[in-house]
């Protein structure tokens, strides 16, 4: 029992890291669900248009995480070592990464946005208007693009604060931002408090405003608490970084960046293959994925806790303790997710009824939520293995484990089923994501072999 379960002190440390992240993510995703319902009240076509654009922006968001992941691993280990200048250099590397990703994102969305949107528009059985859906998507995209700059900078600040053990401030900034977004959506979508009713354009404006609020809180707190976060002192006086560290981070980040980019692109391609079943599926997937985002916050918070705690222990040099505590956190992740998945399965018939959409869309969404709930414990354990390997800087292994497996298993199955069969969307979804069982077995073997046990600093 002592091998797989910790004492009260151990779980106290886990909760100290996990709970603030969990609270932020729960509130963020709960408000996202409310936002999604608000947009869904406008109609199925507007909801589908927003869902398509958000699916494309998802690739950008994940790419930002991937660009910063390598530097984040070093930041956590530098902090464990007590090297604030190393943390500062890791922060600067993230800033340079932001410049690259944001520039590429503007180029892609401004140059190919309409064509990318069209990839998701296919006739279904519900007689929905594809041209109207495209028009709504373009309206939303034109405004929402503004938020990619504050989003990238916010991730730099919040990620570095978490890597130094400060999880409370990112939680406060995230919660503040989502409430700004919620109030802004209610005001601007429906035209409340004397504001004009802007529909999905109002939703985009509210999101942009919330991103700037989040950045202001994060940056403001960090720069006014330099005694607690010494890495921030003089952070913008220079932008140069030691060449040796740049090379080390680049070598580590390249697989991480490629991994996140390919994984996000693969996930988007999976949704595009499923959209071949009709625009109704796009709407149903939007509902199911929004619900999934809310319920998956538990194991994502645990994954972040694993990467932070294990990374700091590795940086301190206590390798055996890192192995022991990692094993206990993986077990806890699995048990926690079993309970969460049971609740998600129970609410599957309820949430789709909150949307102003067709009976067909509601039925598909309900069944998709049930499938996701059944697969959730497997995905959670797989995610825990992923964060374990990432904490030790084994980015090539992470790349092979995560994105390559997506393109080797999930994408071919989805492409074949979507283009060459008439399998309905729900069994199609189950077959595509059922490959997580294979991925979990591979992850468990890799973690057990301890190749990730590595002090980088």
Q: Dump pLDDT digits (tens) for 172-197.
A: 998 898 889 889 999 999 999 999 99
Please state the φ and ψ torsions of residue 198, each to the nearest 5 degrees.
Answer: -105, -5
Here the tokens at position 123 are: 């006739």
- The confidence score (pLDDT) of residue 124 equals 61
Q: What is the dihedral of CA 222, 64, 332, 78, to 10 degrees?
A: -50
Is residue 382 within 8 Å of 407, Cβ to Cβ? no
What's the average model confidence in pLDDT over 272-283?
88
How far apart, in Å, are the Cα atoms of 417 and each of 124, 274, 276, 372, 407?
16, 9, 10, 19, 15
Q: Where are the alpha helices (DSSP H) in 392-435?
A: 395-399, 405, 411-420, 425-433
Beta-carbon contacts of residue 344 (< 8 Å; ≥ 6 apart): 291, 292, 295, 369, 372, 373, 376
Residue 452: DSSP 8-state: T
Here the tokens at position 38 are: 């608000």
Taking alpha carbons only, the member of 162, 203, 163, 160 closest to residue 180 is 203
How far apart, in Å, are the Cα atoms of 365 and each of 136, 279, 362, 414?
22, 13, 5, 18
Q: What's the predicted TM-score (pTM) here?
A: 0.73
Average pLDDT, the chain: 88
Beta-carbon contacts of residue 48 (< 8 Å; ≥ 6 apart): 128, 133, 136, 137, 279, 282, 283, 286
In a 3-state reduction of DSSP, which class is residue 201? helix
Cα 379 to Cα 387: distance, rounded to the nearest angstrom: 12
| pLDDT tens, residue by residue, 216-258 | 999 999 999 999 999 999 899 888 888 888 888 888 778 777 8
Cα 110 to Cα 220: distance, rounded to the nearest angstrom: 31
More confident position, 295 or 314: 295
Cα 222 to Cα 427: distance, rounded to the nearest angstrom: 48
Here the tokens at position 159 are: 């990620």
Is residue 120 within 8 Å of 52, Cβ to Cβ? yes
Least confident of 86-100, 112-126, 326-340: 112-126
Beta-carbon contacts of residue 423 (< 8 Å; ≥ 6 apart): 417, 431
Here the tokens at position 222 are: 């960090």
Taking alpha carbons only, the member of 332, 311, 336 closest to residue 322 is 311
Cα 109 to Cα 130: distance, rounded to the nearest angstrom: 20
């Amino acid at each position: 029992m002592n091998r797989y379960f910790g004492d009260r002190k151990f779980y106290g440390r886990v909760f100290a890291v996990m709970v603030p992240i969990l609270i932020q993510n729960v509130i963020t995703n709960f408000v996202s669900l409310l936002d999604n319902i608000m947009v869904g009240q406008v109609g199925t076509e507007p909801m589908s248009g927003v869902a398509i654009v958000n699916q494309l922006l998802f690739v950008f968001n994940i790419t930002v995480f991937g660009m910063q992941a390598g530097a984040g691993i070093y930041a956590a280990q530098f902090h464990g070592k007590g090297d604030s200048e190393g943390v500062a250099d890791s922060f600067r590397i993230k800033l340079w990464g932001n410049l690259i990703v944001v520039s590429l994102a503007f180029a892609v969305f401004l140059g190919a946005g309409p064509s990318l949107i069209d990839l998701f528009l296919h006739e279904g059985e519900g007689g929905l208007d594809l041209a109207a859906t495209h028009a709504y998507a373009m309206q939303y995209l034109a405004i929402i693009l503004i938020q990619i700059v504050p989003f990238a900078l916010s991730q730099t600040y919040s990620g570095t604060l978490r890597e130094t053990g400060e999880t409370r401030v990112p939680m406060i900034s995230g919660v503040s931002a989502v409430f700004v977004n919620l109030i802004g959506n209610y005001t601007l979508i429906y035209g409340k408090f004397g504001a004009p009713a802007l529909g999905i354009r109002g939703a985009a404006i509210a999101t942009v405003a919330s991103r700037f609020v989040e950045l202001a809180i994060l940056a403001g707190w960090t720069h006014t608490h330099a005694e607690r976060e010494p890495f921030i002192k003089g952070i913008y006086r220079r932008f140069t970084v030691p060449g040796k560290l740049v090379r080390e981070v680049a070598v580590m980040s390249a697989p991480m960046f490629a991994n996140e980019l390919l994984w996000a692109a693969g996930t988007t391609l999976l949704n595009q293959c499923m959209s071949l079943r009709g625009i109704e599926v796009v709407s149903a997937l939007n509902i199911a994925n929004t619900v999934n985002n809310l319920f998956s916050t538990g194991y994502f918070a645990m994954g972040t806790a694993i990467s932070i705690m294990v990374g700091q222990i590795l940086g301190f040099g206590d390798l055996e303790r890192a192995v022991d505590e990692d094993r206990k956190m993986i077990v806890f992740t699995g048990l926690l997710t079993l309970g969460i998945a049971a609740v998600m399965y129970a609410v599957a018939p309820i949430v789709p009824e909150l949307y102003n959409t067709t009976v067909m869309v509601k039925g598909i969404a309900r069944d998709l939520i049930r499938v996701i709930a059944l697969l959730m414990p497997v995905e959670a354990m797989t995610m825990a293995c992923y964060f374990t390997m990432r904490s030790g800087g084994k980015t090539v292994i992470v790349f092979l484990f995560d994105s390559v497996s997506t393109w080797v298993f999930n994408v071919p199955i989805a492409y074949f089923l979507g283009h060459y069969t008439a399998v309905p969307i729900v069994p199609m979804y189950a077959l595509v994501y059922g490959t997580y069982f294979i991925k979990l077995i591979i992850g468990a073997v890799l973690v057990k072999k301890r190749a990730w046990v590595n002090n980088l600093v």
